[in-house]
Structure 1
Amino acid sequence: MEYGISLLSYVALRAETSDRAEIVTHMLFGECYEVVARQDNWVCVQLASDNYKGWIDYKQHNPVTVAYYQEWKAAQHPRVLEVLQVVSKEDVRIQVGLGAYLPFLEGTQFRVGEERYTYNGLASDPAAELVPEKVVEVAYNFLRSPYLWGGKSVFGIDCSGFTQQVFGVCGYQLPRDAYQQVACGEEVHFANQTKPGDLAFFANSEGRVTHVGIMLDGQRIMHAHGEVRIDTLDHNGIYNSDLKRYTHQLRIIKRIF
């Protein structure tokens, strides 16, 4: 088996072996993966964080040993807490964004394979208790981020990428897609009983969960719809005051804490 780690700010994982193919998700700096297939100049990888698969250009593949991969997967790692920062090694400087991984961070040093990198910004504490206040605080860093199918960064993010990254920065790993995330947590039975940090899920006309957002106070919800925005929620769903209509039909509300 072969393993790797991302040393780029963001790497698109595609559905097929083409630069024109659909982006299914993104890989962040410091995120480990397993190589599951190769085809021409493409490598199919499976992310260690959420087991999501996709194709990357072979030039973006950075190998690590099986020992490092297993160590990475067994640990919880600090994440970048600032919208944009820099990691460095000798004369190399790499731009990293909110949510990037800092494997085995000690002080200002973290380890990628046998190499040491320096990071001087704010980082999350993966051992900290998951609390609603922290989830909401992190979520506000993504406000007004543009919607991007498959995105996981402040420069482009989709609805489940938004919820996954917010909770991930706070130390809780959600699955990648909304229909997978809905299996987490305990049900909140009424919209007027929501608390900040709850996840609200929405279904299409066939009843399939296709959208998710994070509840704030006052029955407000933050979600990625065109951009990461704040709307209101009632028992019918999300009401968009700009459009003056409901945009999403409520399916269920879950409490993760």
Structure 2
Amino acid sequence: MDRRLTPATDRVALRGTGVARDVITDGEQRRVAMPLVDLCRAPDGPRDRQLLFGADVLLIEARDGWGFVQAAADGYCGWVPLAALGDAGDVITRRVSAPATHVYPAPDFKQRETLSLSLGSRLAATGVEGRFARLAGGGFVPLQHLSDQPGDAAEIAVSLLGTPYLWGGNSRWGIDCSGLVQAALHGAGVACPGDSDLQCAAFPEAAMIQRGDLLFWPGHVALALDSATMIHATAFAMAVITEPISDAIARIEAAGEGPFLGARRPRLDDRISFP
């Protein structure tokens, strides 16, 4: 079984997975309460991915200040500090649709911000005051930075142009190739796995490249803006950039990083909960 998608530790397994462990659990619904947290391979271990504010998770085991969780959005499993998790009681009503935003203590942009949130963060808003959404947990976020409706995946990816490259990153403050693709598709309300190999396996092949298609190389993925141009987070530039598809194919192959594996088309009818 794929470690990344198997909701089990060496001690505890989620009920119904078929994994034999000493302890079988139904898990506990929790929600990420920090702006950004690493999803680690082991307690205090290397980062596999990241989770954003408002991400729903299932807590499977708590150990020494760490929690082993499964992310509701894509099934990815890993360890996060328990301090990063809060209750999951409030109804999510909006999602951050701008590249980033701030939370203010009052509906006033001249106030000192209390939090910074990335694109894709999920919020429980209880009302509107002026040009701000009032959050259930306290604080106010500009309405211009929020949405309760899915957007266009290509437009969302373009909004992250210039974001620094970060291995395993999922936010405006650092993102990798699969993180960019997932952020774009999730912002469009489309289901998408967390890593490029899983993304390649999840979607059907596309004969002709069109806007919104995913383009694959061994260990790398980009999103097509049209039949000739793509956007990707790349260590080549250490940033999110646009690039002619033909140039990228030639450059990556010349660098010995593998051949172009073709295009795949996300299933637009395979939706995630939005916001």
If the TM-score is normalised by the length of the shorter chain, which range does it land in?
0.7 to 0.9
- Counterparts of 1:140 and 1:13 in 2: how far apart (Å)? 25
Asked if the contact 2:34/2:85 (under 8 Å) is kept, the reply is: no
Tell me what 2:119 maps to.
98
| SS of 2:60 mapped into structure 1 | strand
Asked if the contact 1:201/1:211 (under 8 Å) is kept, the reply is: yes
- Alignment of 1:150 onto 2:168: yes
The counterpart of 1:224, out of the listed 221, 233, 246, is 233
- Alignment of 1:17 onto 2:33: no
Q: TM-score, normalised by structure 1?
A: 0.77
Structure 2 counterpart of 1:43, one-letter code: G
Tell me what 1:195 maps to.
210
The counterpart of 2:142, out of the listed 120, 132, 136, is 120
- Counterparts of 1:185 and 1:34 in 2: how far apart (Å)? 26
Give unmatched runs, 5+ long, in structure 1. 204-209
* 1:143–1:239 Cα change, 3 Å: farther
* 1:194–1:244 Cα change, 3 Å: same
* 1:230–1:246 Cα change, 3 Å: farther
* 1:97–1:249 Cα change, 3 Å: same
Give unmatched runs, 5+ long, in structure 2. 1-26, 107-111, 269-275
Tell me what 2:59 maps to.
35
Tell me what 2:181 maps to.
163
| SS of 2:95 mapped into structure 1 | coil
* 1:245–1:231 Cα change, 3 Å: farther
Structure 1 counterpart of 2:37, one-letter code: V
Shift of 1:58: 2.3
Shift of 1:240: 3.8
Asked if the contact 1:201/1:253 (under 8 Å) is kept, the reply is: yes
CA RMSD of superposed structures (Å): 2.8
- Alignment of 1:59 onto 2:69: no
Structure 2 counterpart of 1:26, one-letter code: Q
* 1:44–1:183 Cα change, 3 Å: same
Shift of 1:231: 2.2
- Counterparts of 1:176 and 1:146 in 2: how far apart (Å)? 18
Structure 2 counterpart of 1:228, one-letter code: V
Asked if the contact 2:102/2:113 (under 8 Å) is kept, the reply is: no
Shift of 1:152: 0.2
Calculate percent identity across the aligned residue pairs. 26
Tell me what 1:80 maps to.
96
Asked if the contact 2:100/2:172 (under 8 Å) is kept, the reply is: no
Structure 1 counterpart of 2:205, one-letter code: E
| SS of 1:167 mapped into structure 2 | helix
- Counterparts of 2:125 and 2:214 in 1: how far apart (Å)? 30
- Counterparts of 1:248 and 1:216 in 2: how far apart (Å)? 22
- Counterparts of 1:46 and 1:104 in 2: how far apart (Å)? 25
Of 194-203 and 1-10, deviating more is: 1-10
Tell me what 1:233 maps to.
245
Cα deviation digits, residues 218-241 of structure 1 (max 9, x gap): 51221111221222224x962349
* 1:245–1:219 Cα change, 3 Å: farther
- Counterparts of 1:173 and 1:117 in 2: how far apart (Å)? 30
* 1:105–1:202 Cα change, 3 Å: farther
- The number of equivalent residue pairs is 228
Structure 2 counterpart of 1:93, one-letter code: T
